[in-house]
Amino acid sequence: MSAQIATALVVFLLPALSQPALAQDPRTAFESAQNALLKKDYASAEKGFQEVLRLDPHSASAYSNLGVVYMRTQRFDSAIRALQEAKKLAPAVRAIDLNLGLAYYHKQEFAKAIPEFSQALQSQADNYQARYLLGMSCFMEDEY
């Protein structure tokens, strides 16, 4: 039993010792980035979510929140790329579809926004924002 504990300590301690000073627990980095996002400190939030992705490249939440940062700073192409990565990792999370639809909508790529808003409505039929934006996107594409 003590051999297993010693092995576990080595596994967890060695990466921390060999990493640069920026390395930390992805959860701690995520919380810090999330707090920065809530405070509208988008530069810190962006750096924080990028750090989370460096530590955990499979974090759909980090990609999704990075997409939100990019949307709020009007970098819609970057937002779309980040949200597409989030969607690959977590295809059932409908909030990602809504945000991806929003990014396309802001770029006036209404045909690409339509399926994203439709997906968002599949699990949240009462989401009035998604319903309104789907209607507006269809209107802009002359799809009635």
User: Six-digit token pair at 57?
Assistant: 């490249």
Q: How many CB atoms lie within 10 A of CB 73?
A: 14
Helix axis angle, 42-55 to 26-38, nearest 10°: 160
Residue 20: the pLDDT is 39
Distance, CA of 68 to CA of 3 (rounded, Å): 45
Q: Which residues of 21-55 are buried (b: 16+ CB within 10 A; e: fewer)?
A: eeeeebeebbebbbebbeeeebebbbbbbbbbbeb
The answer to whether 86 touches 65, Cβ cutoff 8 Å, is no
Give tens-digit pLDDT for 51-80: 999 999 999 999 999 999 999 999 999 999
Q: The pTM is what?
A: 0.80
The beta strands (E) that lie in the chain are given as none
The residue type found at 23 is: A
Residue 23: the pLDDT is 53
Architecture field, domain 2-140: Alpha Horseshoe (1.25)
Domain ranges of the chain: 2-140
Give tens-digit pLDDT for 99-115: 999 999 999 999 999 99
Residue 111: the pLDDT is 98
* Mean pLDDT to the nearest integer, 102-129: 96
